[in-house]
Structure formats: structure tokens, C-alpha cells
Amino acid sequence: MKKLLGIMVLSLLLSSTAHSYLSKGTVDCGTILRLSKDNPMLTNGMMTAYVNGYITGRNYETNRNVGKGVSNDSIYYAVLKYCEDNPLKDNADAAKHIFQKIK
């Protein structure tokens, strides 16, 4: 009985639901805001592509259609607003925030 209890406790300790991932291609919000003034066309394309890729990946993961009908301009301005409100964050944080808002 003690062995069975020990195995159960050990299995509970070894199981985990925590998720860890690496965000590739992140750009801090300070840089995004500066570039949006210096070169808005470049920033628009880069940030829109990044967030669209994030949304596509999450849709694939969850088998959903989040973001359908949301324009690229809306996504870009959402990134800028997020960065203005959270200057110490980055585009990965913005993408996650935007996904949560539009789902």
C-alpha cells in the first residue's frame, strides 16, 4: 500500500501542465515606437506579419478562426497602442494580447 501511495505521489510530482516556449523575432516596444516614426512602412509590414504569424500559429494549435475579418491596419495600430501603453514589453507580448482581445 505504501508503495502504491509513493508511486501515485511521485507521478503527480512528475506531471506538469506548465508550458515553455521561445519567441523568435521579438522586437522591444521602444524600438517599434521609434521605427514607426522613422520608417512607418517597414514597421507596419514587420509587425503585421509577426502578429499574423502568431495568430495563424495559435489558430492551427486550437483549430479556430480567430482574426477572421480583422484588417492588417487594425492589427498594426493595435500593436502601436499596446506598445504605447506598455513600453517595456515587446511584439510577442503585443501579439498575445491582441490574440486574446480578438478571440
User: Does residue 26 lie in a domain region?
Assistant: no
For residue 55, the model assigns a pLDDT of 97
**What is the tally of structural domains in the chain?**
1
For residue 41, the model assigns a pLDDT of 94
User: Does residue 2 lie in a domain region?
Assistant: no
Categorize the per-residue pLDDT at 67 as very low, low, confident or very high, splitting at 50, 70 and 90: very high
Its pTM surpasses 0.75: yes
Mean pLDDT to the nearest integer, 62-78: 96
Domain that holds residue 66: 37-103
Mean pLDDT to the nearest integer, 13-26: 71
Categorize the per-residue pLDDT at 25 as very low, low, confident or very high, splitting at 50, 70 and 90: confident
DSSP state string for 24-61? -S--BHHHHHHHHHH-HHHHHHHHHHHHHHHHHHHHHH
User: Does residue 78 lie in a domain region?
Assistant: yes
User: Does residue 93 lie in a domain region?
Assistant: yes
